[in-house]
Amino acid sequence: MPREILTRHEWNAVGGLRGDNLLREAFFETAAPRAADLVLTLEIAMGVGLLVGARLARKGRFRQHAWCQSAIVLLNLVVVVVMMIPSFRVHVLPRIPAKLGRAYYALATTHAALGTVAELAGLYILLSAGTSVLPDKLRITKYKTCMRTALVLWWVVLLLGLATYVRWYVPHLFRK
């Protein structure tokens, strides 16, 4: 059947049978657009990258730790600004607060709110530890606690992003 008359999800299933792109079909057999799959993959890689970066600090390799965490916080800022905020404005914002009782919107809204806090926390730590632009009284004093809290929050946001992805693009999980 020509691709034009199949829905994306049907095409994924047919694509699996055709045997091409097998890894993608096996991994992401969903109705998600490619952009969402890309964001999900990037975000999981960044989440793991932050854990690797945290290990670097434990080993005393602070310079590499700083580069690793800073690059991830900045790359994530680009992904959030280019992909997530526009999606939030189109798909979620017009339905708040009326539809907040539904998991579809509640998950995305909680994710976006905590995600904003996590990204701002990352940027604040980056500015405080890696530059001298902040006045002394605005600088962090308890780095270890702050960084650990930010890492835990980041992972909570990542899991909420994953839950949003599942709720938005894996509909058969929710069908009875």
**Which residue in the block uniquely carries the two structure tokens 């980056």?**
126
* Rg of the Cα atoms in the chain: 19
| Size of the chain in residues | 176
Q: How far apart are CA 43 and CA 76, in angstroms?
A: 8
Of 35-43, 53-61, 99-107, 134-142, the segment contacting ligand HEM by CB under 6 A is 35-43
Q: Return the DSSP state at 2.
A: -
Note whether 40 binds ligand HEM by CB under 6 A. Answer: yes
Note whether 80 binds ligand HEM by CB under 6 A. Answer: yes
Q: Look at residues 70, 81, 25, 82 and name the one whose alpha carbon lies nearest to residue 46.
A: 70
Note whether 107 binds ligand HEM by CB under 6 A. Answer: no
Q: Look at residues 175, 165, 174 and name the one whose alpha carbon lies nearest to residue 31.
A: 165
Among 68, 72, 84, 151, binds ligand HEM (CB under 6 A): 84
Among 28, 147, 165, 167, binds ligand HEM (CB under 6 A): 165
Among 115, 126, 150, 167, binds ligand HEM (CB under 6 A): 115
Q: Where on the chain is the footprint of ligand HEM (CB under 6 A)? A: 36, 39-40, 43, 76, 80, 84-85, 87-88, 92, 108, 111-112, 115-116, 118-119, 154, 157-158, 161-162, 164-165, 168
